[in-house]
Structure 1
Amino acid sequence: MDELTMVRGWEADEQGLSDDARVAARARLGAAMAEESRGGASRGGVLSRRLVFRTALVGVTAAAVGATVVVSRDAGDDHKPRLGAISATEVLRKAADRSRAAGSDLPVPRDDQYFYYRTYILRTPVKGGRTRTWTDESWMSVDGSKPSLREEHGKIHHDPPLGEHEVRWPPTVYSKLKAMPTDPDKLLARFRMGRPGSPDNDRYAFFEGCMLLMGPRVMPPGLQAAAFEALAKLPRIRLDYDAVDVAGRSAVGVSYPKTEWTFLFDRKTYDYLGLRTKGSSPRKVHGEWKQANWYYETRSLQDIQVVDGIGQHG
């Protein structure tokens, strides 16, 4: 199976691929193939045939937008909100500061260990109906040399070890994440895949940033903060203001026009809470795939640990 056939095949998957996601996937595929081709000469011309950058959240559209959001509190009551205007850029910068201040209490992982993740997913139909929830657990090999177990919407996937020449974006291997730039300008250039800033290129850059932070993966020190600061440099980012609740915490969202992803942050602390999307379940009608049963989906990381094997919880 060639790589473009793989991309086309994803479109018939349970989640489906939107136009933005499809174009971005093909762009990443082309960039990955070009990179492998350049590196292939030094490896005797061996090219990867297994370019893996599949995402569990695709086929979604932009959420409601707003220019400002209530984020401050009344001086006499820390729990009483009052009006205050803040930009999407400021939210991302404050989230970066919060990420650096929070740090991580995880030990430096060994290559033979696993990252354990527990992710909470909430799916609500747009036109009303039964809300569905999942609490997925995954065990990902730190260096990719061992099989991993990944749960998506309650379904178990047994992922084989990564191949020597396998290209995966965003990476899940800790050493590759650690090698990514933590300078916001350099990281933004990576998100744009070296292309100049423009509405289209910046939209794909925002998509790449969402993919990096979607998980499951562990952010080495400074990478998450750098990602927020890099995306804060995009001139068209905006706030989504519709009182999203993430596991009991009121959230403010940051998105980009004509994209399908929204970062969610705690309104009071600016802690990163997760991602929200709007998606649909494709249906085949008269031989053609149609989008139907639209829903909002929120995904938030509940726990992460370094463990020695699959099945352990830290």
Structure 2
Amino acid sequence: MDELTRVRRWDSAGQGPSDQARAAARARLDAAVAAETSPGHTVRAGGPSRRLVLRTGLAGAAAAGVGVTVVVTRDGGGHDRTTRLDTVSAAEVLRRAADRSRTANRDLPVPRDDQYFYTRTYVVQTYLKGGRTRTWTDESWMSVDGSKPSLRQENGKIHHDPPLGKHEVRWPPTVYSELQEWPTDPDKLLDQFRHGMKSSLRNDVVAFSEGCMLLMGPRVLPPALQAAAFEALSKLPRIRLDYHDATVAGRRAVGVSHPGDAFVFLFDRKTYDYLGLRTKGSSAKKVNGEWKQVNYYYRTTTLEDIQVVDHIGQHH
């Protein structure tokens, strides 16, 4: 069985990524694992595209990135913010986040296929060496089932996305009825994230990336599914805490990451509310005739608001 073959139905026609897309994704993943396990390994930027509508040719790219996020933040007195986290494991943080999700998201609306997700997202980009910190507040209106045009704002720039074509898919799906068919048993969901493959470094990176893609939005998830996703990821070996993560929207956060993936989940340190995702990125520059990755930065994305609305421009 091809480990990049989707084990769930993506649309009524059963369309999935092409063989070329699967091969490209597998090649990127193999290179990532080889780099992660090789002597003298150094962190490189990576991670899936932030484009919210994933075309068929891009499906599966979530496993491409490798990175390690360690951001040191100190309080006003210069003391590290590690209080009360020394005895809590990454798995326990994810389990507590699952418990919080079951209660916090109980009243989320159920979207119709003909509606839109309105999202307001706050983005902070901090460069590792020099450069000013940049921030954006992006607003987007995404067609729930992809049948209508969408308006997407990314880093302050507006993009007009056409309806999905016949052979295009959105991954993960945004249609609520499709998401309701996903397993909410953590073991079964983890098996789905791994595409039915046994636990290994490569397959666990795929599973963690799939969980990130599911939770990064924009979509309204059935509350039981979000909780199950956190519990499923808590069962992965190698997950770890980022003790010194940054403050997110004024709330002290703790991160949970996997050494084979560029994404870091961010949770409130007291309530375990899910706050958003952090990743490491860079820009490309031509140096002596060769393209090199420069200007490394950390980007934190926080979903400030999500609503189900009837048309573009409506906020609630």
TM-score (norm 2): 0.76
State the Cα RMSD in Å.
Answer: 3.2
Q: Distance in 2 between matches of 1:287 and 1:152?
A: 30
Which residue is 1:100 aligned to?
A: 102
Q: For 1:57 and 1:302, locate their aligned partners in 2 and report how far apart those are by CA, in whole Å.
A: 26
Task: Report whether the alignment pairs 1:86 with 2:93.
Answer: no
Matched residue SS, 2:94? helix
Matches within 5 A, 1:227-266: 227-266=229-268
Write out the 4+ residue segments of structure 1 that deviate beyond 6 Å after TM superposition.
5-8, 20-25, 54-58
Match of 1:130 among 114, 129, 132: 132
The Cα offsets for residues 167-189 of structure 1, whole Å up to 9 and x where unpaired, read as: 33222333332322222112111
Deviation at 1:313, TM superposition (A): 0.4
Q: 1:152: how far off?
A: 1.2
2:221 paired residue number: 219
Q: Which amino acid aligns with 2:305?
A: D
The structural deviation recorded for 1:254 is: 0.4
**Any residues of structure 2 matched to 1:126-205 within 5 Å, and which?**
126-205=128-207
Shift of 1:258: 2.9
CA separation in 1, counterparts of 2:268 and 2:61? Answer: 25
Deviation at 1:243, TM superposition (A): 3.8
Q: 2:297 aligns with which of 295, 298, 301?
A: 295
Post-superposition Cα deviations, 1:135-194, rounded to whole Å, max 9, x if no partner, equal: 111111122211111111111121221234423322233333232222211211121112
Tell me the equivalent position of 1:116: 118
Contact 1:3 1:50 in 2 (8 A): no
- Say if 1:232 and 1:279 are closer, same or farther in 2 by CA, change over 3 A: same
* Equivalent pair of 1:60/1:278 in contact (CA under 8 Å): no
8 Å Cα contact 1:56/1:152 also seen in 2: no
Q: Secondary structure at the match of 1:218?
A: coil
| Corresponding residue number in structure 2 for 1:61 | 67
Deviation of residue 303 (structure 1)?
Answer: 0.3
Where is the strand percentage greater, Structure 1 or Structure 2?
A: 1
Question: Which TM-score applies when normalising by structure 1?
Answer: 0.76
Amino acid of the structure 2 residue aligned with 1:162: L
Helix, strand or coil for the counterpart of 2:255? strand
SS of equivalent to 2:275 = strand
Structure 1 residues 89 and 5, CA gap change in structure 2 (3 angstroms): closer
Question: 2:121 and 2:196 mapped to 1: Cα distance?
Answer: 32
Identity of aligned residues (%): 68
2:210 to 200, 208, 211: 208
Deviation at 1:111, TM superposition (A): 1.8
Query: Relative to 1, partners in 2 of residues 1:159 and 1:165: Cα closer, same or farther, differing over 3 Å?
Result: same
Distance in 1 of aligned mates of 2:278 and 2:267: 11
Q: Could you tell me which residue of structure 2 aligns to residue 71 of structure 1?
A: none
Matches of 2:32 and 2:293 in 1, distance apart? 12
1:312 to 286, 311, 314: 314
- Conserved 8 A contact 1:97-1:225: yes
In structure 1, stretches of 5+ residues that fail to align are 9-17, 26-48, 67-80
2:123–2:302 CA contact under 8 A, matched in 1: yes
Partner Cα separation in structure 1 for residue 134 and residue 270 of structure 2: 27
CA distance in 2, matches of 1:257, 1:100: 28
CA distance in 2, matches of 1:84, 1:188: 27
Distance 1:247 1:58, change over 3 A: farther
Deviation at 1:291, TM superposition (A): 0.5
Residue 92 of structure 1 contacts residue 229 of structure 1 at CA under 8 Å; is this kept in 2?
Answer: yes
Compared CA separation, residues 270 and 260, structure 1 to 2 (3 A): same
- Say yes or no: does 1:268 pair with 2:270: yes
Q: 1:287 to 1:179 in 2, by over 3 A?
A: farther
CA distance in 2, matches of 1:83, 1:297: 23
Given that residues 236 and 257 in structure 1 are in contact (C-alpha distance below 8 angstroms), is that contact kept between their aligned partners in structure 2?
yes
Equivalent pairs counted in the alignment come to 268
SS at match of 2:246: strand
Letter in 2 for 1:98: R
Shift of 1:231: 0.3
